Structure 1
């Protein structure tokens, strides 16, 4: 049968139209990486969208976002994990970004804290594929900076963060914004370090202890090897939890007000949150005799000066530090026999004193801090130096470690990163939060 030419023409046009629709649909279904639409989204901070690759989707990756709201700044940690069958997750990589100041700086104008949070969330949107946004937990935990604020001011700041989180596309539960208990901070940091060292994988291995010196608080955490430590320690110093199908019992305590900045203020003679009267100064033997200057802490500016020349600076400063720390920390008893990592200001001041390399870290003895303190303090008797608080800070660290029960010959490992991952509590806290979500399922 002969087909009319008009029918052939209609059939041809139908095929062309079908082909065009197929091509259009196919292009729209492709990732937007090279399209103008994707560039538009990339430049829109409210609607960033990274496509997910087939390889990544098939390997069962998951993500977690942890905000560390510290006393001196707010940091975002974006973790990418590979789920492993019948084993703990494998950390693929971490994205880290920090801004200053910390949330507590906005205590009197809480609405201003949201700009920094929104800026850090842009980094998360640029990093995590948009198809994973709704399943990626978003968490902020505040530390000593907010613990030191009046409850009402701290809650106002947290409510501002909650409002920002609720508008984000990420998974945010009712408990996703909170002030972190100091002990939880120590436990989470202990998990981070031992996870990165491989001590939490498979069968239990020997773990290391953790010392952290922040701005407002300091923590000590370790796994007791002696049953007497568990029996004789205060009940709130001992905690047990499950992680990766193993139960861990830890000695952990956080000393609020004994972080380096809060301790510095106390040693100088100031009181947290109390500005000086007009014309009033803080005078300290831990400063060079001819030192005059100002120091800002927790949004309060203090006028400082050194004492008159004549008294040995180190001995006078040591007496001040020892008096301030008297009976404020506890000696657990067995920590001297365990391996410890030390972080944060322990690391920073060791760098300032030339005890370790800034990039690679190293090992330091308690007596190294003490000898560095004596050297810096003695040199200040003739010239102030470029770091007016280094004498005080090093003296405080050396006395604090000895009050905690560490002998002068005790060696600590100092590191900012292990396997290229920040050694903060953020990774451990993310693991704990993800496990809590899984238990709720």
Structure 2
């Protein structure tokens, strides 16, 4: 009798095991070649003490960059960043608007880099996220959607944790806040009350952002601007942030050259911001433009080219920039094209960065623009770019003697919005 009971128990156990295996096969299988769906991890998993990786794709207007972050998570405190692996490809995702599949090879190459940077045992619980910025914000909705769908399919076939919302277009406000979080995380400004935060200025190719925590919130509210509050690491932060779509350096360069309202394709653009007599070509987006300076003799004379260029830039910006005050006395970090153009002028060290005044950009613009005829710069657009940066900073409300800290990296970590976005995403997996 005892043997019969034992045999019956074994048979029942075997049937149950077989049933469970059938269920597992049914829910994990799919059409041939399809990637198995991976559910979100347990909500407490992301913030358990221990190592946590995150893969963040920055799909900008001029290129796509991947950041692989390695965090040491802590139960009741901000995580510490152990390592960042970074790589980039060109052109930007928006360049494939008419043939989305062509973006696949570049995305796959960056995914391969992420795989090689993360232990295979961690792949399934490492979130992979792509956030697109101004390049895709400027595209028609259907074209942007097709590009995002292509990337989403590649992510779902990867070994990383991916969901429907892993691929998206971020708003300009999100971009500004994420960059603010990055810089203040790296400088210690998010440690708690009294730690002190810094503002950020980001000048990309298609848009530009300004974000800071005003010491006197009432003065900003009186200017009809909106303050946003959010939580990071159980602390509420209130910031002013504004994003200007279409006022990135490359988009504005196109407007200043006179091609902002062209129907596409190649055409000739004439600008007072180029050397008199200069003739060349410039590729932007899907178009190649023939560009030239004004007729020789029109822009000669010390300062004339500079004044003509300032007038042209001010016309393009007329009524588009909100003057925010007070900004004096606040510390600001500036990066992206603010940094690149300062490096071109040797105002700061390419590796170490440095500090400049707003007036340094203005003085450099005057020097470069007035010497276009006698000693043209390496880039024919340097005069235009510097004039735009100096005028933009002044219209934002910065005084000539305001100092800006320029940094490509802080502690060997890129000063982009990517780290801030990764921290915010990990926080959503386990909200406070």
What is the TM-score with the length of structure 2 in the denominator?
0.86
- What is the 5 A alignment of 1:154-303? 154-234=144-224, 237-271=226-260, 274-275=263-264, 280-303=267-290
Aligned residue among 357, 362, 365 for 2:354 = 362
Displacement of 1:230 after TM fit?
4.2
Aligned residue among 141, 159, 167 for 2:131 = 141
Secondary structure at the counterpart of residue 431 of structure 2: helix
Displacement of 1:332 after TM fit?
1.6
Structure 1's unaligned 5+ residue stretches are 1-45, 47-57
Q: Distance in 1 between matches of 2:270 and 2:379?
A: 17
Flag the 1:149–1:273 CA change in 2: closer, same or farther, 3 A: farther
Q: Distance in 2 between matches of 1:249 and 1:288?
A: 45
Flag the 1:118–1:272 CA change in 2: closer, same or farther, 3 A: farther
Aligned length: 381
Q: Distance in 2 between matches of 1:297 and 1:233?
A: 36
Displacement of 1:409 after TM fit?
0.7
Secondary structure at the counterpart of residue 237 of structure 2: strand
Displacement of 1:203 after TM fit?
3.9
Match of 1:420 in 2: 412
Asked if 2 retains the 8 angstrom alpha-carbon contact of 1:313 and 1:381, the reply is no
Displacement of 1:233 after TM fit?
4.2
Structure 2's unaligned 5+ residue stretches are 1-34, 36-47
Flag the 1:183–1:165 CA change in 2: closer, same or farther, 3 A: same
Displacement of 1:228 after TM fit?
1.8
Q: Distance in 2 between matches of 1:286 and 1:423?
A: 30
Asked if 2 retains the 8 angstrom alpha-carbon contact of 1:273 and 1:300, the reply is no
Displacement of 1:290 after TM fit?
1.4
- What is the 5 A alignment of 1:4-403? 60-234=50-224, 237-271=226-260, 274-275=263-264, 280-308=267-295, 309-311=297-299, 312-403=304-395
Asked if 1 retains the 8 angstrom alpha-carbon contact of 2:201 and 2:333, the reply is yes
Q: Which structure has the larger Rg?
A: 1
- What is the 5 A alignment of 1:397-412? 397-412=389-404
Q: Distance in 1 between matches of 2:339 and 2:351?
A: 10
Asked if 2 retains the 8 angstrom alpha-carbon contact of 1:81 and 1:91, the reply is yes
Q: CA RMSD in A?
A: 1.6
Displacement of 1:383 after TM fit?
4.0
Q: Distance in 2 between matches of 1:385 and 1:210?
A: 29
What is the TM-score with the length of structure 1 in the denominator?
0.84
Secondary structure at the counterpart of residue 371 of structure 1: helix
Q: Distance in 1 between matches of 2:53 and 2:223?
A: 37
Poorly superposed stretches of 4+, deviation over 3 Å? none
